[in-house]
Chains A and B, each alone.
Chain A
Amino acid sequence: MLVTLTVNGRSATVDVAADTPLLWVLRDVLNLKGTKFGCGVGQCGACTVHMRGRAVRSCQVLVSNAAGAEVLTIEGLSPTGAHPLQRAWEEIDVPECGYCQAGQIMTAAALLTVNPQPSDSDIDSAMNGNLCRCGTYLRIRQGIHRAATLMAADGSRRQPDVEAPDTTSEPAVPVSK
């Protein structure tokens, strides 16, 4: 079926089976390789993107359900790496192998949009769905705090890159047990 969606601000029409996960449309059809495949069952968070302003696992979103939606991937967060999270990640040297980090950053970006100054416990809840096999968790936590500080400093100069979600009453990301 033909599906039209907006990815990183650009309209794209793809012709794929309706049950194709958004992840494979992004990677294999639109050639956006930043969103990663880790598990295919919504357990690892490596495929996290923002859809309609909220962090979602793109392996769990059928493309037919993304029709007409605005999708933001790591490539669209800030292509130059200027987003506070990207700056913080480089400053703290968060990655080891680096494979999970796009998903970590996208989940963290959604968190900072609804909660610009998260506590450790806010971070733990929001980030608990993102696995890091190398074990960079302590630096991820530190990186989010650092990004919050950078964002506050940037605040007077520009708006956040991420569109605010339509409600703040629910957590921005699924919280797994």
Chain B
Amino acid sequence: MSITTLDRRAFLRTTAIAGGGVLFTVYLDPTSLFAQRGGQPPAPLDPDAFIRITPDGIVTIIAKNPEIGQGVKVTLPMLIAEELDVAWSDVRIEQGDLNSAYGPQIAGGSRAVPSNWTPMRQVGAAARATLVAAAAETWKVPAAHLRTSAGRVLDPETNRSLGYGEVATRAAAMPTPDPATVTLKDPKDYTIIGKPIPGVDNPAIVTGKPLYGIDFSLPGMLHAVYERCPVFGGTVTGANLDEIRRLPGVRHAFIVPNGPPNAAPFSGVAIVADSFWQAETARQQLRMTSDEGPGAADSSEAFARRAAELSTEAPARTLRTDGDVDAALSSAAKVVEAAYSYPFLAHAPLEPPNCTGHFQNGKLELWVGTQTPQNGVRDIARATGIPAENISLHLFRMGGGFGGRLYNNYVVEAAWIAREVGVPVQLRWTREDETQHELYRPGGFHYFKGGVDAKGSLVAWRDHFVTFGEGERFAASAAMGGTEFPARFVPNFLLGSSVMPLHVHTGAMRAPGSNALAFVLQSFLDELAHAGGRDPLEFQLELLGRAPVQGDGARGGLDAARMSAVLRLVGEKSGWAGRPKTSGRGLGIACYFSHSGYFAEVADVSVDDRKRIRVHKVWVAGDVGRQIINPLHAESQVQGGVIEGISHMMQEITIVKGGVVQSNFDDYPLLRMRHVPPAIETHWVMSDNDPTGLGEPMLPPILPAVANGIFAATGDRVRALPLSRHGYSWA
């Protein structure tokens, strides 16, 4: 089976460069729009990339998408360079600023690979064909006689050759072929795709060159800090501003009112000083009064209490129903009832949010790292009234994203402050600002009843999901779809939901939804396997084998055969069948499908008599299609996703009186070197599908794999995260 994920069509135009060379302008157009226009190429607007070839043969690719550490700055140029047939050492990559000419500029959703895999290779191949045609015209020979290799056009009959740089200027005057018609390389001839290509910014990173938004400065720049109302949705009504203004170095202190409903800026006090340290020192003297509003009633404890009450009632909404779950539960041989929950989490990118702005003559210029620069400009225009066309934005590499920079609250705050002070100003969030005022992965509650028959087969599944929202609307990232496995594989199935009002701001975090759902769904499946006396791996394989749901993997539906294959592979590699049964140590297994990727993971876990947990090793089996584009970054993403998932298990953002209790890495811990599994082994199933993204799908299954490992080691079933709530710590 082969699935094609060609959802965009590529076009190419050439322009001559003053002084010699050629600029290829790349356009990617959704195939749906292409069809609507009757197959007409798009108007010359919205290019997605530029490829510049100068007479020295250097190929510069302008990357328009934000880089957050996921390696997209390398991945997409690799696709172009492969089919262009150049040596990677001749490729330079430049970060593009926000430019309305580029079309969407977004980092998120693991979409870069599936949506660019075919069009970007076609672009490279069409550019190559143009260069070959230019050489053919130079030599007056048919283009079909010519070959290319490492940035040169070769004439095998005469053994002569021309570098791309030498034919670039002529190529600028040549017509370009329709990228959809060019022949792509046979993968066995790849010299770049599938090869380990290191990050392009590594030399700057290891020598400490300025790279990130926080490293930027302007002459005469002031520094701002921003103290928000401690309660989400509250309003600052007053502050000792006169006193603050008299403190050393302070130039401005003012109250920023709430912005549009549920959008930044969130009311607070801005303090602007000559230096960051002066602003931060002055902030310690700040006394604010505020109208806390209804958000003050939000608390983690009240949410848990209310969720338990709601669990005794019928779900407010039915999200999916199959068969007759009540009848099946009453006739099941064994019924398991369990309440699962997980807390709010913060993104905690290591570079705290920051943004530099300069407002003058009605125009605003920004220097910032954001995953969604266009949304940032839109939100600023809405909040400040500065027209979007008067806002320019320079994009920087980010010290982590994880979804935390999808939302531009820090950008809007900086814009507001910049407009107020009229000189260059940099807003820096402290770690405390980030921990207490970002948009959180929402917590949630699942009340399960599951039934197995006398053979231990799953016959009934009931999940009452208590989450956040109002009426039919779920809070951001607090929803659940009706197709999450094991939905569709259990004959009697019910998924219902009830919601609680929430004022805490929420948003997407790496593998949104899945990062929490995998823990509850895969842990409860493990419980049911044990209840039926079945092996957890064999139990899931039997379930997957029941209904051959031929989902289109790339479009969101789960393909049972692909999931079974990664489960079998991880079972084989981890020695699952022959695993020793020792007290205090055990293997846990789990799988999950998200962002078009199939992952199964096994964790080797031990727990000592003081409830200290050690994860000795993790085996990962993944299927993201027939080609791993960059094995170095694929491995990094898998290791990083697994380590992040383990980190989540000990983290919690607690809400008390409408505000966040935790404040920094001392009470919101990240996994440290000593606690990291010393071995994370990655294996790939190379299925015959177009490649899909690796930003997210490896993360979700590690949480239940570790939790199921704790059960295997101790018999203790962890149904609520964080682990610390049950007295566990990392060994």
Residues on A lying within 8 angstroms of B by beta carbon are: 16-17, 19-21, 24, 28-29, 31-41, 43-44, 46, 73-75, 77-81, 85-86, 89-90, 93-102, 105, 120, 123-125, 127-141, 176
Contacts and interface: CB of A to CB of B under 8 A. Distances in A.
A97 B207 contact: no
A38 B354 CA distance: 12
Interface string B394-409: 0001111110000000
A21 B205 contact: no
Contacts of A17: 248, 277-278, 281
A140 B673 contact: yes
Nearest to B347: A133
Q: Choose among A74, A97, A105 the residue with the greatest number of B CB atoms under 10 Å from its CB.
A: A97
Q: Choose among B207, B277, B644 the residue with the greatest number of A CB atoms under 10 Å from its CB.
A: B207
Interface of B: 68-71, 196, 198-199, 201-203, 205-212, 214-215, 217, 223, 248, 275-278, 281, 348-352, 397-402, 428, 430-432, 632-633, 636-637, 639-644, 647, 664-666, 670-674, 676, 678-680
A124 B674 contact: yes
B664 A24 contact: no
Contacts of A16: 275, 277
Contacts of A139: 636, 639
B643 A98 contact: no
Chain A residues touching B, majority SS: loop
Given A133-B400, A135-B647, 14 more contacts: A17-B277, A24-B275, A32-B208, A38-B351, A38-B352, A75-B207, A79-B207, A93-B632, A97-B350, A102-B208, A130-B673, A131-B665, A131-B672, A139-B639
Given A90-B202, A93-B199, A133 B217 contact: no
B399 A98 contact: yes
Nearest to A96: B69
Contact of A138 (B248, B397, B664, B680): B680
A74 B636 contact: no
Contact of B678 (A90, A97, A101, A120): A120
B69 A80 contact: no
Contacts of A132: 350, 670
A35 B209 CA distance: 10
A123 to B, nearest CB: 7
A104 B293 CA distance: 44
A31 B275 CA distance: 13
A28 B69 contact: no
A39 B665 contact: yes
Q: Choose among A44, A85, A96 the residue with the greatest number of B CB atoms under 10 Å from its CB.
A: A96
B175 to A, nearest CB: 40
Nearest to A82: B207
Contacts of A40: 430-432, 664
Contacts of B205: 89, 95, 98, 101-102
A98 B397 contact: yes
Given A81-B207, A98-B199, A36 B399 contact: yes
B349 A34 contact: no
Nearest to A141: B673
Given A16-B275, A43-B664, A98 B211 contact: yes
A128 B277 contact: no
A131 B647 CA distance: 11
B665 A99 contact: no
B208 A35 contact: yes
B206 A90 contact: yes
A134 B198 contact: no
Contact of B350 (A21, A32, A133): A133
A56 to B, nearest CB: 16
Contact of A135 (B348, B640, B665): B640
